[in-house]
Amino acid sequence: MKAIRVSQFGGPEVLQVAEVADPRPGPGEVLLRLRAAGVNPVDTYIRSGGYARAPALPYTPGFDAAGVIESVGTGVTHFKSGDRVYATGTLSGAYAELVLCLEARVRPLAQRLSFSQGAAIGIPYGTAYRALFDRGRARPGELVLVHGGSGGVGTAALQLCRSRGLRAAGTAGTEQGRKQVLAQGAAAAFDHSVSGYEPALLQWTGGRGFDVIIEMLANVNLAHDLELLAPRGRVVIVGSRGQIQIDPRAVMGKDADVLGLSLMNISAEEFAAIHAALGEGLACGELTPVVGCERPLAEATRAHEDVLAPGARGKIVLIS
């Protein structure tokens, strides 16, 4: 089969198309024929060699995949060949024509969703759900700021807010991104690319502040977030690409919580619970992944450049 392989850590150009042996499913494993792979920012951090958990070289990148079951190993009970599925967390890497996964990491793909939408579920919706409900303890009726609402995690978070009775504002750096933020359920959209936009966010809450802030770029925004929090508010750090100085008194004064999140830390039970919770919303239409860009698998290099560029509008996927 063809796969995208990384033989040395480095820039996007180290992503190379190669011919590799077809994987075969062992006990409890399933093999899926790829139709779409999700491109997540973490794929670029790992590829560059700067990520805490580095894979052994050479490796095939990618966590999120959607496709059709090709074959199953012994003991697999929930899937058979021909089933439409999505997976998150693979054994062999998602950027490949065939993808090996543990059965527990695979879920049925709702008929109403395309394969590209299926590849946009795993990390984005899993992260958004965990940030809002497991870490952020968001409750119906609360006010949420999705700080970075135009990308994969942000659109998922806004849809989840809408479906759970949370009133949300979102930010994006482009006009198109802000239109999308509104279309995905935000009651208001703000531009994080202009300086001094933060007071308008506080004004939108009537001066009270947000109960929960889902933060995609904490190294830029965390100090402002603390000013934007309501008493007993929670900031959940989803993304950060550097360091920042904050005033701890801004946390103390509000009995606020600053929480971190790494989806890599979730247990098998937490994974199953999150995807059980997402399943009904994905099937009935409350949750619909937004695919902003599809590229052929062979254009993984371009996709890695795109995913770090400003101007997000949903998810970037590689199709096969």
The footprint of ligand NAP (CB under 6 A) covers 40-42, 123-124, 127, 147-154, 171-174, 177, 192, 216-217, 220-221, 238-239, 261-263, 307, 310-312
Closest to ligand NAP by CB, 39 or 76: 39
Tell me phi and psi for residue 173, to 5 degrees: -95, 0
CB of 262 to ligand NAP, least distance (A): 4
Closest to ligand NAP by CB, 42 or 278: 42
Separation of alpha carbons 19 and 2, rounded Å: 5
Closest to ligand NAP by CB, 23 or 239: 239
Closest to ligand NAP by CB, 61 or 154: 154
What is the number of residues in the chain? 320
CB of 103 to ligand NAP, least distance (A): 23
CB of 40 to ligand NAP, least distance (A): 5
CB of 71 to ligand NAP, least distance (A): 30
CB of 127 to ligand NAP, least distance (A): 4
Q: Are 210 and 228 in contact (CB under 8 A)?
A: yes
CB of 153 to ligand NAP, least distance (A): 4
Strand partners of residue 257:
234
Closest to ligand NAP by CB, 1 or 277: 277
Closest to ligand NAP by CB, 31 or 171: 171
Q: Are 282 and 114 in contact (CB under 8 A)?
A: no
Beta-carbon contacts of 196 under 8 Å, excluding residues fewer than 6 positions away, are none
How many other CB atoms are there within 10 angstroms of residue 243's CB atom?
8
Closest to ligand NAP by CB, 35 or 147: 147
CB of 252 to ligand NAP, least distance (A): 25
CB of 25 to ligand NAP, least distance (A): 27
Give the nearest residue (CB) to ligand NAP.
151
Buried/exposed code over 46-75 (b: 16+ C-beta within 10 A; e: otherwise): bbeeeeeeeeeeebbbbbbbbbebbbbbee
Closest to ligand NAP by CB, 84 or 192: 192
DSSP 254-307: TT-EEEE--GGG--HHHHHHHHHHHHHHHHHTS--PPEEEEEEGGGHHHHHHHH
Q: Is the omega angle on the peptide bond into residue 58 within 30 degrees of 0, that is, cis?
A: yes
Query: Within its chain, how far is the Cα of 92 from the centroid?
Result: 20
DSSP 170-218: EEESSHHHHHHHHHTT-SEEEETTSTT-HHHHHHHTTTS-EEEEEES-H
